[in-house]
Every structure is written in structure tokens, then in C-alpha cells.
A and B are shown apart, each in its own frame.
Chain A
């Protein structure tokens, strides 16, 4: 007996890695790290297996929202150099497959996180996925230059969810961890938009650089960096902070402010002359900035656990 009657012919057979790439592994690494910090520094400790499951399902939820984003944004990803090689726009994975994986993993991750930890954590993960896939991807990204500002909230949720997974409630420390990422996202992406010049124009994405011009973007980077600076310092002064977090917060924010000020002072002629050296350096530094802040929280946590402070 043979039941094999359907065979879809396609030029390229997607690999497991192609499907995994739908989950945006690089974004997931940041999600895992920040969620882990949120979970560890919380005053309630989970059993290691529960903690592992919580981080795993938060990461899968983030990956699922990435797959939904790739499904919906395949048209604009295809025209941007930075994203043209993603699985859907490059034709390696069918859009329908990305949608199915995104929806399926969203459901699994939310239910499993709620079962492994608590309902509030599961609800927050569901809210994050909907926020990123629907509010940001389907609505704001293509309609307002504030897309990055509001969409950044989705990326800011993981440490808060990690905290809630451990404690079952939201507190000021969790909100401040959220606020650090939320306020950090706009300058980070606007710096990228400054030197990935034609990409967003070509795709018709209303980035601030496209709608309000590059000078306005430089102003916004400075303004948001000024607003961001006190948040990590405040976080360092709460129960999860400590001397390491405080030193890192003061030093890195001073550095970040100087970078934003340099960007603000420059114009397009200067930027073109040195091929956006300052903007690229600011963007690169912004990546270390986030890792360093959350890493510092971990160091302070370890120092407290070891009885050093």
C-alpha cells in the first residue's frame, strides 16, 4: 500500500536552519539574556528546571513574533539590503510556512510559560507577541515615524516577563528594566537608519529619516539619549542594583551622551566624508551598552549572593 500521493515540487528544499532563521536568533539571544537577568535578580527564586523552561518559552515566544514579522514584512524585507537574505524574501521558506510556524510557536510558548510559571507571565508574553506582530509590524511600522518608539516596547518586555515568571507580580525594578530597553531602542535604531540610508527609503518605511529628515533624526537621537540616561542610574539605586550597576550606568551613559551629542553636531556633509563613522560607532556601542547594563545587574546579583556586598 502506498499513501504517498502528494509531493510539492520546489526548486529549493528548506533546511532546518532556514526555519530556525525565521525566529531571528540574534534578536533571541538578547531576549534570552535580558529575560534571564530579570528572572535571576528577582527576589523569588525558581527551581532551575522551571527557570530554564521559562527562559526557553520566552525565547520561543520572541522567535514566534519574529516569524510573524517576517511573514508580514516579506515585501519590504525584499527591497532592503539588510533584510533581503531572510528566509521568506529570499524564497527559501514559503510565507504560509512562516505564518504557521509563527502562530503555532506563539500558542505553544504562551501556554507553556503560563503552565511552567504563572498566568500573568503567560499573559504578558501573549501581549508582547500581539504587540510586536500586530501593533508594530502590521500597523505602526508602515504608518508612523514613531514606529520604533512604540515598537520598542515589544523588545523591552523580556526582562519584565522574566521577573514576573519568578515573582508573579510587577514591581518598580521590573518596570525600570523595561524602561531601559524601551528608551534605548529609538536612538539605537535611528543611528542605524542614518547610515543604512537608502534602505528604508526604498522600502517606503516611514522612518524618521524619511519623514522628518536627517537633521530631525539627529535631534531625536540626542533627546532620547538624554531621557534614557537617568533610567539605568535609577535602576542601579533600586534593590536589584549595586555598585557595579551604578558605575556602569554612570560611565556608559556619559559615553552614550557624548556620542549622541557628536551625532547631533554633525551634518550630512561631515557624515558622508567619513562614511558615517560616528553614527556607526554609536550604533555598535549601543549594542554593548545594553549587554553591559544587564551584565552589571548579574554581577551585582552574584556579589550579593556571594556575600561580598
Chain B
């Protein structure tokens, strides 16, 4: 198929494609930002991995 035949189509859809691309980039940025906030604001995320870590031991009285 001659690629020239699709040039007009590409040209007409260029702005739409740019719009969709920017929307997707924006969405990724929002999800990334949310992930960072959720992880940094959440509970401790480290788990037991066969190494003694005093900060994981519950403090008595708490």
C-alpha cells in the first residue's frame, strides 16, 4: 500500500492524536503522583525478610 495515501489522514488526525497523547501522559502523571503520596503517607511498607529489624518489633504498651 502506498504510504502517500495515508498522509492526508495522518495530517487531519494529528491534533487529535496529540490531544490523546497529552491526556495519557497526564493520566500517567496523576497515577504516579497518587502512588508516591499513598506510599509515603501510608503505613510502614517493609515486611519480615529473615533479618532482625528492631523497628518492626511492636513496642509494649502500644
Contact = CB atoms under 8 A, between A and B. Distances in A.
Interface of A: 2, 4-5, 7, 13-16, 19-20, 47, 49-50, 52-53, 56, 112, 115-116
Contact of A13 (B13, B31, B33): B13
Interface stretch (B15-23, B45-53, B54-62): B15-23
27 contacts: A2-B1, A4-B1, A4-B6, A5-B1, A7-B6, A13-B13, A13-B16, A14-B16, A15-B15, A16-B16, A16-B18, A16-B19, A16-B20, A19-B16, A20-B19, A47-B37, A47-B41, A49-B33, A49-B34, A50-B34, A50-B37, A52-B30, A53-B30, A53-B33, A56-B30, A112-B31, A115-B34
Most-contacted residue by chain A among B6, B15, B33, B34 (CB, 10 A): B34
A4 to B, nearest CB: 6
Given A2-B1, A50-B37, A16 B6 contact: no
B44 interface: no
Nearest to A8: B9
A16 B15 contact: yes
Given A50-B37, A52-B30, A53-B30, 19 more contacts: A2-B3, A4-B1, A4-B6, A5-B1, A7-B6, A7-B9, A13-B12, A14-B16, A15-B15, A15-B16, A15-B19, A16-B18, A19-B16, A20-B19, A47-B37, A47-B41, A49-B34, A49-B36, A112-B31
A164 B23 CA distance: 27
Interface of B: 1, 3, 6, 9, 12-13, 15-16, 18-20, 30-31, 33-34, 36-37, 41
Contacts of B12: 13
Contacts of A53: 30, 33-34
A16 B24 CA distance: 13
B12 to A, nearest CB: 4
A49 B37 contact: yes
A28 to B, nearest CB: 15
A180 to B, nearest CB: 30
Contacts of A47: 37, 41
A4 B5 CA distance: 10
A20 B20 CA distance: 11
Shortest Cβ-Cβ A-B pairs, 4 listed: A16-B19, A13-B12, A49-B37, A16-B16
Most-contacted residue by chain A among B3, B16, B18, B36 (CB, 10 A): B16
Nearest to B12: A13
A15 B6 CA distance: 17
A19 B13 CA distance: 13
A116 B6 contact: no
Contacts of B37: 47, 49-50
Nearest to A60: B27
A50 B37 CA distance: 8
